[in-house]
Every structure is written in C-alpha cells, then in structure tokens.
Amino acid sequence: MSERLMSHDDLARVTGKKRYSKQAAWFKEQFGINVVRCGDGSPVMTWATFEALQAKKAGLSSAPLKEERPALRPATLRAVK
C-alpha cells in the first residue's frame, strides 16, 4: 500500500465528484466517515487509508472483531483548601 496522499485528480476519479464538499459527502455516504479536510476544504486521504476502507467495506479487514479494553473509572475531584 502506498502512504502517499491522493491528489485532487485521484479524489475526483475515485469519487466521480469535482467539488470538495461533494467528495467529502461521497466518503460519508460510502464509508460513514467524515474525512479530514484542509483549510481550503479539500479532503485529505492517503491511498493506504482508502484501500483499508475498501477492504473493510468488502469484509476483508483482518482487524479483531472485539478489542479488549480496560474498564473506565470516574476521576475523583479533590477539594481545594
């Protein structure tokens, strides 16, 4: 997998959209994610991330089904004297 960023032309070819807002909406519709965007509104996506999203959508992800996580405990506040 390539770690390089997808270019504007890459994003337009993959999504079929030229406008940044439409490209971001396409990623939300297809993968259920809000893509990171630059200050000009353009989506930021690496090829590796895109390929991983496609694999997950196709059911090919090798990620564990359930990750064991430690139990969370509430923080206690100490009184200030």
DSSP symbols for 16-81:
S--SHHHHHHHHHHHHS---EE-TTS-EE-BHHHHHHHHHHHTT---S-SS---PPP-PPPPPPP-
* Tens digit of each residue's pLDDT (9 = 90 or more) over 26-71: 999 999 999 999 999 999 999 999 999 999 988 886 655 566 777 8
Residue 1 has pLDDT above 60, yes or no: no
Confidence of residue 74 (pLDDT cuts 50, 70, 90): confident
45 burial via Cβ count (<10 Å: 0-12, 13-18, 19+): buried
Residue 5's SS3 state is strand
Q: So what's the pLDDT on residue 65?
A: 53
3: three-class secondary structure by DSSP: coil
